[in-house]
A and B are shown apart, each in its own frame.
Chain A
């Protein structure tokens, strides 16, 4: 089991990488952590004629505080470095809650935060987590740069709003408002296996403990990570009670999503998991929001 031959480019700077991308376009594939790309090349499911390896560009690996209380993560930051970063832990505990479900420690030592987002696997944890956190993605090409919000970024399975000459360079996660709680839950057949369903919830309460804002992102339920907009809207201005949570979970499972089945999971079981995991996440996020000062 060996990959097909390819030309190998390993530039030392982003500018050099963008030059190569603009020249090769569709004929080159970006290699970040490689924890999804290399297996598919080993199986020859992917046979890119050339690879652009970003691993020699140290400038793309960093975790910086954003002035507003958010965080900016360089695209080539290893998952394990995000997982063990105290600032991320303090500001965005939901990222840490999701991390252990990303395959295995050895994979997280190599896999990158930006790579997972650019790969846009509908079963990926980080696309959904950053969607729940209302992140935006910084994209560069030889001709300039732009920011794309998470609501516009994911177009289909493994398909994003990026053009072939564009590179994801960093992810910006905005600060969470006061009285905001987050939660992450998923179900998989075994530790580290692909999630059958996953849910990231971000809930902000007003001083009277009514829901001021909610973002509920689901993975493995459609062609992209899915924002459960109707479920979130059903909670607006309401107290989080078993009844309102149940109604939101029902909306997530029946209105916001239309999950398919596969060898591991029937559509009915997937809907069941959406109900259970959305309810659990909302309850927990609500508790955490109430527990916070301010």
Chain B
């Protein structure tokens, strides 16, 4: 067995320190070490997108990073968005537009498009489909996901306007 490595990481605003084998994938670290099981494991080779998280604010595949590579970095997962009583607008939009069926791909879809939604108030369908091209969904046929992302963009923009 290779030497254990210390990993210090901030996830959804909470600091964690764990000692792990270097080969531990970041997604397994998030799920098994931190107990945050909202991030899902799908293909484990970077194709399906369900393990997508934000690393320093950018969507990446957590199955294509080793846990020690997150040392000193900031992570945001689906648990860092809304709560059951107070959904994040993107979660509200997915509920409203029925942007999911079984829900397996949903955490990855939402984390993938979160920065996109925050930066694009009124995206075209084509832009949304491009932003979604790294996430597979086997239930919906994508139609409602596209609509949910468009609705989310509007909702985030209007909340920003209200806050001003």
The answer to whether B2 and A5 have CB atoms under 8 Å apart is yes
Residues of A within 8 A of B22 (CB): 5-8, 51
The chain A residue sitting closest to B5, CB to CB, is A8
A178 to B46, CA, bound (A): 41
Cβ B44 vs Cβ A107 within 8 A: no
The answer to whether A39 has its CB under 8 Å from any CB of chain B is yes
> Of A1, A2, A53, A106, which contacts B49 at CB under 8 A?
A106
| CB of B65 within 8 Å of the partner chain | yes
Q: Are B3 and A7 within 8 A (Cβ)? A: yes
Whether A110 touches B60, Cβ cut-off 8 Å, given contacts A2-B25, A192-B133, is: yes
Instruction: Give chain A's interface residue range (CB within 8 Å of chain B).
Output: 20 to 34
Q: Which of A127-154 contact B (CB under 8 A)?
A: none
Residues of A with C-beta under 8 A to B130? 100, 105, 191
Please determine whether A104 and B133 come into contact, CB atoms closer than 8 angstroms: yes
Q: Answer whether residue B151 sits at the interface, using C-beta atoms and an 8 A cutoff.
A: no
Given A6-B23, A51-B22, also A43-B45 (CB < 8 A): yes
Judged by a CB distance under 8 angstroms, whether B21 is at the interface is: yes
- The answer on a CB contact under 8 Å between A109 and B63 is no
Contact flag A39-B46 (CB < 8 Å), given A10-B68, A105-B112: yes
- Alpha-carbon gap, A107 to B63, bound state (A): 11
Q: A107 → chain B, closest Cβ, in Å?
A: 6
Contact string against A for B residues 96-130, beta-carbon threshold 8 Å, 1 for contact and 0 otherwise = 00000000000000001000000000000000001
Given A104-B133, A106-B112, A4 contacting B23 (CB threshold 8 A): yes
Of B5, B45, B131, the most chain A CB neighbours within 10 A belong to: B45
B52 interface contact, C-beta 8 A? yes
Among B1, B45, B61, B112, contact of A5 (Cβ-Cβ < 8 Å): B1
User: In the complex, are the beta carbons of A105 and B134 less than 8 A apart?
Assistant: yes
Residue B158 is within 8 A (CB to CB) of chain A in the complex: no
- Distance of A200 from chain B, by nearest CB (Å): 21
- From 34 to 80 in chain B, residues with beta carbon under 8 angstroms from any chain A beta carbon are 44-46, 49, 52, 55, 58-61, 63-66, 68-69
Given A6-B22, A35-B46, A104-B49, 17 extra CB contacts under 8 A: A3-B25, A4-B23, A8-B2, A10-B69, A34-B69, A38-B46, A39-B44, A51-B22, A55-B69, A80-B58, A103-B46, A105-B59, A105-B131, A106-B61, A106-B134, A107-B61, A110-B60
Q: Name 15 A/B residue pairs within 8 A (Cβ), A-sorted.
A: A2-B25, A4-B23, A8-B5, A8-B22, A10-B68, A38-B46, A38-B64, A39-B45, A42-B63, A105-B130, A107-B61, A110-B64, A110-B65, A191-B130, A192-B133
Residues in chain B within 8 A of chain A (CB atoms): 1-3, 5, 21-23, 25, 28, 44-46, 49, 52, 55, 58-61, 63-66, 68-69, 112, 130-131, 133-135
